[in-house]
Chains A and B, each alone.
Chain A
């Protein structure tokens, strides 16, 4: 008995064990319980299904499952959207890895020109909401075939855009892939940047060819980062909602998320919950595959305190052409979309880009008192927009502090107990929110927290529920970043402090935090930026009193008020860029420096 008690005391004397237990309890409540809730929702009758099913609301039914998998509707509701989701997600990964990984290699391992500027611009698509690239695509390439005036490209060239180019899988893959390419760059670039130069130096001494060095040293070193990128991008792409909503729906190209939105918002939400479950199962399979491939021991400590001077690959004669080409691509994915937003926010009549058709009314126009959208005050003079902006900033700050702090502590405690069951469970728990599609997650929280739960009052309509769901949803980002950085940090550094009797708090604040400063700040920045551009997580939880900028943007877009929508879009991007700049100035860390610092 005494021995057991001693074991418990020893266990609890380690701060990371206490952290792991606290995380286990809170994440069970905030992540696991909701999963049960969604399963329940797939077996009951919802108010909109009464007439369809002919049973009382809340009663048990198998109707949704039969309809989803064993009826004439199965193909439309499940199989076709599933195929579309898998197809677009796989190719999105490919685009993100090729472009992001390729760019990371060019920046870190070659003598390409204008690295600083290009890196800053390359990160733009990630900073911008995922749907802004889709909106930019629509601004440029929309055609009259699916409604609305033709886009900028047709207006300038007179060339009509075919449907397959304007809408459907092609633009979905490209815009989503480009959005996540910076993700690949951050993760792969972090590893490439911090690689132990001794390995390559040894290879050079042994007269190894560059191709062999690339395949036998560089690729194996970045493989964990590539796999991390694949899992993050694949999961993100599978749960991407806004892009397929804007670019798929016009040609009725449904993926799982848009089908889920359509059914949850429609008259058969039960099937929507089944789609959500299906998506979660798929994501778990991917995660397990990832763990199987990488394994727990196949990670590499790249921050060792040893030499990190890496030799650059000389591009030689192709240096200028490659730099120009990369510059062109980066401009197309960063600045050109911004130009389209500026143009679209200025024009009075769609499709007419003549100077005489432009006005600043949608920015600084004074309210004309009428009831048409042209009569409303410009966004910079509109009190509603300012209130919404303040709410967005407040929410982003709350989520960043919540997710960043918990994520870092989770990363620390998971790595320190790496290999133990508790650590594995908590690590998986912190990652589960990433696997749950945002909209499904929001739907679960809506049903879970719209009534009193023990001592927790109904949270629906409050700021708290938004901050809570944002914190939990962005936790994987921050904890992943925490785990990756802690894996790179050799434990000897902290152990030195332990030997000298330095208390835990002091070890954290004086040793670990300063070393991992840029990663920790990234862990705060990523949730902040994500929250500023989040739509699907908040769109059904936001109420009139706590609207955020992105839901206002969605609202304007739904109303067809494209000018205000584009102006708000620019406002969001501007704020995020300013925040990024301020944090960079204050701490020296920023998103583009990613994991491991510059």
Chain B
């Protein structure tokens, strides 16, 4: 019955996506130059809400580069949950707020903002040419990845080669990740594991790791649920931030050496590893490149227009510019509000533009490589199944 209902839900969601993604087949014909001119003529302030700090700098650089009064743009960093509440309230009550949002919890964004008509997916031909399929159902501005890292002093290279290690009593209490109940993308990852396709991969990997066929518990509809249950029961440490987790895992002077590992952003791993040029890294860390069946997950940060935007033209121009090389990593001369030069994503590990032709940090792999070894977030599936998985975790944790 539950499966049947899920199927119905998926069908309904798919239908909804088709409706909302309708513009996907018809990109806006307006060009960057036209939108920029219209945005300037509009004269209203451009406000962007974002989960990613780079976009605050990017907006200032955009204003300076194109002769827009710097006081007429504002980029504000807000976390996912607050952003959803704020945008929904502002649009519903018709009070001034954001013109454009950059948000990462695809499941909730889709059901609570897109389906409710508070925000909408927009792109023009210029974006379509650069981004391609990632224009819909929600336009991907940036991909971020989370991978398994470990302490190289206590975990030999190659030891963590199958994701079922997280459920092995040998590693009880040694796995950390940011609490999925606090971070939507982590919860979405767990939701994605329960999809039919991924559950089948997990089932196969189980046999590889334990040598027997998987036996599902009564409350576990598939291997995805079983993995989640066993992982929690094996003492998952739900931390408060990826940065802190990286430091805890990689601490070289641990009182009680433990086979610590964690699922965190590649960016935080790079910042904290021993050879990092970025302060304050001094930790004995490495990450797993090969793991059966997946080595982590990749999630997008979406760029979406709000339904009550004061200056939608300028918001659209900004969005188009973000997919250019200048928008992604700066032109080496445009300054921000504080006078420093805008560098965008230059040298930043773990961030990959929706425009896959743009460069990644030196030493990092292109997003196409990562996509092959990581689970990707599907906002439609995640949205339809999020409640089920959340409820499941509430019971088993």
Contact = CB atoms under 8 A, between A and B. Distances in A.
Contacts of B254: 144
A147 B179 CA distance: 11
B93 A372 contact: no
Contacts of A145: 173, 237
Contacts of B90: 460-461, 543
A495 to B, nearest CB: 51
B31 to A, nearest CB: 29
A348 to B, nearest CB: 5
B282 A349 contact: yes
Most A CB within 10 A of own CB, among B96, B345, B387: B387
Interface string B71-88: 000101111011001101
Contacts of B255: 150, 154, 158, 160
Contact of B112 (A48, A149, A540): A48
A371 interface: yes
A458 interface: yes
A52 B248 contact: no
Interface residues of A, number: 56
Contacts of B241: 147, 558-560
Contact of A369 (B238, B251, B338): B338
A374 interface: yes
B364 interface: no
Interface stretch (B46-54, B156-164, B296-304, B370-378): B46-54
A147 B237 contact: yes
B112 A47 contact: yes
Nearest to A462: B95
Contacts of A544: 47, 49, 74, 76, 78
A351 B390 contact: no
Given A47-B111, A369-B341, A450 B239 contact: no
Contacts, number: 154
Contacts of A207: none
Contact of B340 (A158, A368, A451): A368
B395 A73 contact: yes
Nearest to A76: B394
Most B CB within 10 A of own CB, among A72, A149, A555, A560: A560
Nearest to B253: A351
Interface in B5-24: 9, 13
B247 A149 contact: yes
A495 B24 CA distance: 79
Interface in B105-151: 108, 111-112, 115-116
A369 B111 contact: no
Interface in B31-59: 47, 49, 53-54, 57
B278 A372 contact: yes
Given A147-B176, A558-B241, A51 B348 contact: no
A385 interface: no
Interface residues of B, number: 72
A149 B240 contact: no
A94 to B, nearest CB: 29
B256 interface: yes
A252 B387 contact: no
A57 interface: yes
A350 B78 CA distance: 25
Nearest to A147: B239
B103 to A, nearest CB: 14
Contact of A348 (B81, B280, B386, B390): B280
A506 interface: no
A539 B82 CA distance: 9
B357 interface: no
Contacts of A372: 271, 278
A158 B254 CA distance: 10
Nearest to A361: B279
Interface string A239-275: 0000000000110100000000010011110000000
A560 B74 CA distance: 23
A71 to B, nearest CB: 10
B237 A149 contact: no
B394 A560 contact: no
A458 B348 CA distance: 42
Interface in A527-579: 539-540, 543-544, 555, 558-560
Most A CB within 10 A of own CB, among B54, B74, B94: B94
Contacts of B319: none
A560 B243 contact: yes
B242 interface: yes
A370 interface: yes
A149 B248 contact: yes
A514 interface: no
Nearest to B283: A349
B94 A458 contact: yes
A367 B96 CA distance: 30
B65 interface: no
Interface string A140-167: 0000111111100010001010000000
A51 B348 CA distance: 37
Nearest to A563: B280
A324 B157 CA distance: 56
Contacts of A555: 77, 79
Contact of A73 (B115, B243, B338, B394): B394
A446 interface: yes
A267 B191 CA distance: 14
Given A371-B54, A377-B338, 6 more contacts: A47-B112, A147-B176, A267-B386, A370-B343, A371-B53, A371-B57
11 contacts: A47-B88, A47-B115, A51-B13, A52-B387, A147-B237, A160-B256, A267-B390, A368-B340, A371-B54, A544-B74, A544-B76
Q: Which 9 A-B pairs have the closest CB atoms?
A: A369-B340, A147-B239, A560-B241, A544-B76, A148-B244, A52-B387, A349-B280, A450-B93, A560-B243
Interface of A: 47-52, 57, 72-73, 76-77, 144-150, 154, 158, 160, 249-250, 252, 262, 265-268, 348-351, 367-374, 377, 446, 450-451, 458, 460-461, 539-540, 543-544, 555, 558-560
